[in-house]
């Protein structure tokens, strides 16, 4: 156990060094992180075997929750509003079109079965929010025609569509008898509950911060930490998409006055 903790701390420090190094040479830090994974992995120098995929999924899910909230919290609605409609089109119709194009390529060129081809397309059809937020904000890019705002909003809101396509295709492959009505209800629930809980949790949090000011910065940080987790988990319980809910909560809270905004967001 002590060796695991020691190695984990060493890797975290190495990642920080890679981030500084990547900024100087112009290479995305995510690329260096992947290289580190290969270096430490089963085929690398240290040959660390890892096959606990459930644990990896949980760690990545928790990390993505905070990334989605941070993306929304740092998005200026004044800048994002003009491209909101275009972003929604890209995050729905665009994701579906991308999935089908990739699926057709896998089917006709790579000779993979049709359903498995669609599954591959669904999995990789959405823009990676982590990469978009990291590159655009670390480089302070300001692209023409509000493209930077368009990419940020689209990357933060496209996960539900890709998630639903993936779940639908997996259920079909497994032979589950899901009717068209069930699929439509699942799609609607994903969006509706995400919006309801995302907006509701954000407004309730702002009201609490206004009516009951927290005494210290530490309590503000813990409060924000709890809100982020609740904004993800609560809609999931009712069948909604937790990532979209967290993103919406971040947008609303980030664009409203919070007395200790800088301190309360220190958890990010």
| pLDDT beneath 70: ranges in the chain | 1, 22-23, 25-28, 128-146, 176-178, 214-218, 259-268
Dig out the tokens for 136 from the structure.
């655009």
Q: Report the topology of domain 52-264.
A: Na+/H+ antiporter like fold (1.20.1530)
Tell me the C-alpha distance between 184 and 179, whole Å: 9
Domain definitions of the chain by residue range: 52-264
Tell me the C-alpha distance between 91 and 109, whole Å: 26
Q: Which run of H or of E encompasses 151?
A: helix 147-157
**% helix / strand / coil in the chain, to the nearest 5?**
80, 0, 20
* pLDDT value at residue 268: 55
- SS3 of residue 267 by DSSP: coil
Tell me the C-alpha distance between 71 and 68, whole Å: 5
pTM of the model: 0.77
**pLDDT tens by residue, 47-103:** 777 777 888 878 888 888 887 888 788 777 777 778 788 888 888 888 899 999 999
* pLDDT value at residue 143: 63
Residue 100 CB-density burial (10 A; 0-12 exposed, 13-18 middle, 19+ buried) = middle
Nearest to 164 by CA among 144, 185, 140: 185
* pLDDT value at residue 133: 62
* pLDDT value at residue 234: 94
Cite the beta strand spans of the chain per DSSP E.
none
């Amino acid at each position: 156990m002590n060796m695991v903790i020691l190695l984990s701390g060493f890797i975290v420090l190495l990642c920080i060094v890679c981030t500084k190094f990547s900024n100087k040479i112009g290479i995305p830090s995510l690329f260096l992180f992947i290289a580190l994974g290969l270096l430490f992995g089963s085929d690398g120098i240290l040959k660390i075997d890892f096959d606990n995929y459930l644990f990896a999924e949980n760690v990545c899910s928790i990390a993505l929750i905070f990334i989605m909230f941070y993306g929304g919290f740092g998005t200026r609605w004044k800048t994002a509003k003009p491209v909101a409609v275009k972003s929604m089109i890209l995050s729905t119709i665009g994701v579906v079109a991308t999935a089908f194009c990739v699926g057709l390529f896998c089917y006709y060129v790579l000779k993979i079965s049709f359903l498995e081809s669609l599954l591959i397309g669904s999995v990789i059809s959405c823009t990676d929010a982590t990469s978009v937020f990291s590159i655009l904000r670390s480089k302070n890019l300001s692209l023409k025609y509000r493209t930077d705002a368009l990419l940020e909003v689209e990357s933060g809101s496209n996960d539900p569509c890709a998630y639903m396509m993936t779940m639908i295709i997996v259920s079909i492959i497994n032979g589950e008898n899901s009717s068209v009505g069930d699929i439509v209800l699942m799609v609607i629930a994903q969006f509706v509950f995400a919006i309801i809980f995302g907006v509701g949790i954000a407004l309730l949090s702002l009201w609490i911060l206004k009516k009951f000011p927290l005494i210290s910065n530490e309590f503000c940080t813990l409060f924000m930490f709890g809100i982020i987790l609740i904004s993800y988990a609560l809609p999931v319980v009712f069948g909604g998409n937790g990532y979209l809910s967290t993103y919406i909560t971040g947008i609303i809270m980030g664009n409203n006055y919070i007395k200790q905004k800088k301190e309360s967001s220190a958890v990010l």
